[in-house]
Amino acid sequence: MNSAYVYLQLYKLFDKVTPLKVDCGKLCERACCKGDDCGMYLFPGERKVFNMLRPNWGYIENSDFSYTYNSKQKSVPIIFCSGNCDRYQRPLACRIFPLTPYIDETGTLKIITDPRAKALCPLAKTLDISEYDRGFLKNVKRAFDILATNDEVYTFLDTYSRQLDEYLKFYNSKGGLL
Ligand code: SF4
Ligand code: SF4
């Protein structure tokens, strides 16, 4: 199956479901969409969505972050935007922010608050994972339960989680700064 089709289906899980029932952008004037280096990683196969959509609000580059799959080194694409996009075209990482998938030391897929979000996002700074909208949390888990059945996505998520470990070292199990 074309991976673009899979991602476009998963995007729909987040068309109406957001981290809270209220517009959290009003708390912070959309802090997650600001900044000169506003870039989000694309998950394996997601680039095909943007090859197809050809958005006029962003561009894609290969990042320095890579993972090994089938003995090949694969650079992770990153999409940069100017802080405005077509909401219906935003990538998966933006749809799930400030949560992120994480594979723990036992190989189990979990959904956690992205430790990189804690510096800018009021939700990431203050909420326990259980305090997000239940439908949002459920859909994030559902999306990654589906994606992680693909070997390459799982391999990427494992490498990505080891990168997150470098940030998680600074936080306790509740997500607070140590
Ligand atoms: S930074 Fe956090 S609170 Fe602000 S819009 Fe983004 S997800 Fe919502
Ligand atoms: S792609 Fe859209 S949602 Fe994502 S950071 Fe840029 S403006 Fe925000």
The atom number, within ligand 2, closest to the CA of 93 reads 4
Q: Show pLDDT as tens, one digit a residue, over the chain (178 residues).
A: 689 999 999 999 999 999 999 999 988 989 999 866 678 999 999 999 999 999 999 999 999 999 999 999 999 999 999 899 999 999 999 999 999 999 999 999 999 999 999 989 999 999 999 999 999 999 999 999 999 999 999 999 999 999 999 999 887 554 544 3
**Pocket mutation for ligand 1, best pick of 23, 28, 129 (most atoms within 8 Å of C-beta):** 28
User: Quick check: 146 and 176 in contact, CB under 8 A?
Assistant: no
Domain spans in the chain, listed from the N-terminal domain onward: 3-168
What's the CA gap between 25 and 48, in Å, rounded?
28
What's the CA gap between 156 and 88, in Å, rounded?
25
The bridge status of strand 39-41 relative to strand 58-69 is: unpaired
Q: Which residues line ligand 1 (CB under 6 A)?
A: 19, 24-25, 27-28, 30-32, 97-98, 120-123
What's the CA gap between 78 and 61, in Å, rounded?
6
Ligand 1 centre and the CA of 92: distance in Å? Answer: 15
Number of DSSP helices (H) and strands (E) in the chain, helices first: 7, 5
Considering every ligand atom shown, identify the ligand nearest to the alpha carbon of residue 119 and give its number: 1
The residue whose C-alpha atom lies closest to atom 3 belonging to ligand 1 is: 24
Burial 141-176 (b: 16+ CB within 10 A, else e): bebbeebbebebbbbbbebbbeebeeebeeeeeebe
Nearest-5° Cα angle at 79, 110 to 63: 80
Considering every ligand atom shown, identify the ligand nearest to the alpha carbon of residue 26 and give its number: 1
Considering every ligand atom shown, identify the ligand nearest to the alpha carbon of residue 118 and give its number: 1
Q: Of 81, 77, 88, which Cα lies nearest the Cα of 8?
A: 88
